[in-house]
Amino acid sequence: MASDAEQVLRLMLGGDVMLGRLVREHIRERGPSYPLGELAPLMQQADLAIVNLECAVTTSRQLWPGAPKAFYFGTLPEAVHTLLGAGVSAVSLANNHTLDFGVSGLLETLHTLRQHDIRCAGAGRDIDEARAPIFVERRGIKFGMVAYCDHQEDFAADVHSPGIAYLDLGDEEAAIGQFRRSLERIREEKADWPILSLHWGPNMVDRPSERFVRLAHAAIDMGYGILFGHSAHVFQGIEIYRGRPIIYAAGDLVDDYYVDPVFRNDHQLLFELELTRSSLKRIRLHPVFIEDCRAVPARGRHLEYIAQRAIALCAEMGTRVEREGDQLLIAASTTSP
């Protein structure tokens, strides 16, 4: 019988889940299982599934009163069952769409998610709540996660104002200082796996900037176990740094976005990390294709494109990806020549 230290747990990480606009209409017409139902059997098998929720869950139609935006993302309250049906039990709300329907939309989102026991990091009724870590324990292994976003500064929570955990990553020294303070709060609760979730950088970018690589390395150096990045709408290469995974950009899991003919952002990945209490054993990459506002397992030419892209981008990070049927595997000790 395996000891607690040897027990392998499966953590599923998905990128941006956008359930507004056309996805919202599909949920209204076809039910909440529509956007992620094809992936649900896979995701439910994980011990813990976390995504970045890229929309408000609210009945409010009152738009954010700040500078006009090109897009506002909000979904129906019943869309919480889209998440639950896919086994999602924790989300990051530190992104540039959480307050698209104002403070009331944010507060309703927080209430609805918490009412259904979905933990929320990265937004809150004040800055302390927005920066507060969330904790989830599975089979004796404890995860702690904080979440930050580097854009939509007017969404930032303040001492007396609801909002997101905004962080200016251009000031690297200050950002690293905040990473450290958050890590201390996670360590106080003796979490085995501290996770830093970052909604960072511009859209449609294949590779992280040198600054983002420095920040990611600094986070791992100080003691974070996983860096979970998103915002680019496409996946980037994965780096295994000091035995810890850096997912610079997880891409999108479901959306209704225009498909760029160059970046082909309907071709995505779902990330499954196999962990023990103290170490990463393996990462399984599950290719995903987004079509008609739903995510489905990629097949045929879609699978081949995703596989080739993932293998090439990871190789640039010194990470070798092995093919096993429809899955792509990264061993924690495996690096490319």
Q: How confident is the model over 190-231, as pLDDT tens digits?
A: 999 999 999 999 999 999 999 999 999 999 999 999 999 999
Of residues 22, 87, 8, 6, the one with CA closest to residue 254:
22
- In the chain, what is the straight-line distance between the N-terminal and C-terminal CA atoms, in Å? 36
Q: How far apart are CA 200 and CA 194, in angstroms?
A: 18
> Which of 273, 285, 290, 288 has the alpha carbon at shortest distance from 332?
273
Report residue 326's pLDDT band, with 50, 70 and 90 as the boundaries.
confident
Residue 334, pLDDT score: 53
Q: Which residues of 58-155 form beta strands (DSSP E)? A: 74-75, 88-92, 119-121, 123-124, 134-138, 141-149
Q: Is 32 helix (H, G, I), strand (E, B) or coil?
A: coil
Question: Taking 80 as the threshold, does the pLDDT of residue 89 lie above it?
Answer: yes
pLDDT the model gives residue 221: 98
**CA–CA separation, 43 and 139 (whole Å):** 17
Q: What is the pTM of this model?
A: 0.96
Q: For residue range 91-113, list pLDDT tens digits in order.
A: 999 999 999 999 999 999 999 99
113-150: per-residue pLDDT in tens? 999 999 999 999 999 999 999 999 999 999 999 999 99
> Could you read off the pLDDT of 37-76 as tens digits, one per residue?
999 999 999 999 999 999 999 999 999 999 999 999 999 9
pLDDT of 1 above 70: no
The pLDDT of residue 328: 97
pLDDT of residue 5: 53
Average pLDDT rounded to a whole number, residues 290-301 = 98
Vertex 139 angle, CA 138 and 143, to 5°:
35
Q: Give pLDDT, residue 333.
A: 72
Reported as a pLDDT band with limits 50, 70 and 90, residue 252 is: very high
Instruction: Work out the burial of residue 213: count CB atoms within 10 Å of its CB; fewer than 13 is exposed, 13-18 middle, 19 or more buried.
Output: middle
Give Rg (Cα) of the chain. 18
What is the rounded average pLDDT for all residues in the chain?
96
In this prediction, residue 335 carries a pLDDT of 47
- Judge whether 278 and 285 are in contact, CB under 8 Å: no
Once rounded to an integer, what is the mean pLDDT over residues 79-86? 98
The pair of structure tokens assigned to 286 is: 């599950």
Q: Which residue type occupies 81?
A: H
Whole-angstrom distance, CA of residue 246 vs CA of residue 271: 11
Three-state secondary structure call for residue 105 = helix
